[in-house]
């Protein structure tokens, strides 16, 4: 089963941070990272209850990149969802679907929750392998930070029971895959103004598929072989 890391980006309410720590204790997660957090005091400890050790052991980071470093799968959360392919960066999966995909994994799955007022920034979302949202009533679809974390952590915990692990591609291997894809875009002279969006689309696709090591090596071989052949033909011409 994967190790779950929870990242809270610039939380403004210490009670929310404490409640997230309590939910983590409930559902077997112990790795909490806080990015530029509000001060934590008595309210946070009160809300954490038996999760106070998670609260006390939380790491404090100055940037999103620092907090998510070492992740094998980086999951962003958002209250905004779309089915439009033109806004593919916002296409998400549900919390239960996410849990089913990552249950056989090993390594570190990082779930990042954004600010209480406007969530994760577009730049932070672009770094994520996968986006998850929680369906809610149209009249009030945005969940409280700690409630959203509780739902996601519950689904991750419930899905892990009885699942057999498999050998997934690591975060390092997937970054190499993204580098190979970028090299292929360059070798094929793919339109420069489309490359950034296409790279994000590919990152989402890989994130949703949770590739195994065998799948990683097979796809890596195809991308590298295609890039090398194109460059050889260019040199010959």
Residue 47 token pair = 């809300």
Q: Which of 181, 152, 209 is nearest to 23 (CA)?
A: 152
Residue 114 token pair = 């954004």
Cα dihedral 83, 89, 95, 100 sign: positive
Q: Are strands 73-77 and 108-113 parallel, antiparallel or unpaired?
A: parallel
Whether residue 198 is found in the same domain as residue 121: no
Whether residue 147 is found in the same domain as residue 223: no
**Domain at 108, CATH number:** 3.40.1280.10
Instruction: Tell me how many domains the chain contains.
Output: 2
- The secondary element (H helix, E strand) that includes residue 94 is strand 93-94
Q: What is the pLDDT of residue 34?
A: 98
Whether residue 20 is found in the same domain as residue 73: yes
| Domain end residue (candidates: 118, 134, 160) | 160
Whether residue 114 is found in the same domain as residue 229: no
Q: What is the pLDDT of residue 65?
A: 97
Q: Across the 237 residues of the chain, what is the mean pLDDT of every consecutive 10-residue run? A: 93 97 96 97 96 96 97 89 53 88 89 94 92 88 92 92 70 94 95 93 88 91 94 85
Task: Establish if 131 belongs to a structural domain.
Answer: yes
The answer to whether 212 and 106 are in contact (CB under 8 A) is no
Whether residue 21 is found in the same domain as residue 138: yes
Task: Establish if 48 belongs to a structural domain.
Answer: yes
Task: Answer whether 0.95 is exceeded by the pTM.
Answer: no
Greatest pairwise CA separation for the chain in angstroms? 71
Sequence-ordered alpha helix ranges (H) in the chain: 14-26, 42-48, 52-56, 64-68, 95-102, 122-127, 145-160, 171-187, 192-209, 213-236
Q: What is the pLDDT of residue 208?
A: 85
Whether residue 156 is found in the same domain as residue 177: no
Domain of residue 60, residue span: 3-160
The answer to whether 110 and 61 are in contact (CB under 8 A) is no
| Domain end residue (candidates: 129, 160, 191) | 160
Q: What is the pLDDT of residue 163?
A: 58
Cβ partners under 8 Å of residue 14, min gap 6: 38, 39, 40, 41, 43, 44, 47
| Domain end residue (candidates: 103, 130, 160) | 160
Whether residue 195 is found in the same domain as residue 98: no
Task: Establish if 165 belongs to a structural domain.
Answer: no
Whether residue 150 is found in the same domain as residue 175: no
Whether residue 176 is found in the same domain as residue 92: no
Phi first, then psi, for residue 131 (nearest 5°) are: -120, 135
DSSP 89: G
Q: What is the pLDDT of residue 80?
A: 66
Whether residue 156 is found in the same domain as residue 183: no
Whether residue 143 is found in the same domain as residue 190: no
Task: Establish if 11 belongs to a structural domain.
Answer: yes
Whether residue 27 is found in the same domain as residue 128: yes
Q: What is the pLDDT of residue 209?
A: 84
């Amino acid at each position: 089963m994967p190790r779950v890391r929870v990242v809270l980006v610039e939380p403004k309410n210490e009670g929310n941070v404490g409640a997230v720590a309590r939910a983590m204790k409930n559902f077997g997660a112990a790795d909490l990272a806080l990015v530029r957090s509000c001060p934590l005091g008595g309210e946070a400890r009160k809300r954490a209850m038996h999760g106070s050790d998670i609260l006390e052991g939380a790491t404090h980071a100055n940037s999103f990149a620092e907090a998510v470093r070492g992740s094998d799968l980086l999951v962003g959360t958002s209250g905004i969802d779309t089915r439009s392919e033109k806004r593919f960066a916002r296409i998400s999966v549900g919390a239960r679907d996410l849990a089913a995909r990552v249950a056989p994994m090993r390594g570190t799955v990082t779930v990042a929750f954004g600010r209480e007022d406007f969530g994760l920034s577009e730049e932070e979302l672009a770094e994520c392998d996968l986006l998850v949202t929680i369906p809610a009533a149209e009249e009030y679809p945005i969940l409280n930070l700690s409630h959203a974390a509780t739902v996601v952590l519950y689904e991750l915990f419930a899905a892990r029971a009885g699942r057999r692990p498999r050998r997934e591609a690591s975060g390092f291997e997937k970054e190499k895959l993204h580098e190979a894809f970028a090299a292929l875009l360059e070798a094929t002279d793919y339109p420069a103004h489309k490359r950034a969006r296409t790279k994000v689309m590919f990152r989402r696709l890989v994130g949703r598929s949770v590739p195994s090591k065998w799948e990683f090596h097979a796809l890596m071989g195809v991308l590298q072989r295609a890039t090398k052949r194109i460059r050889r033909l260019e040199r010959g011409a």
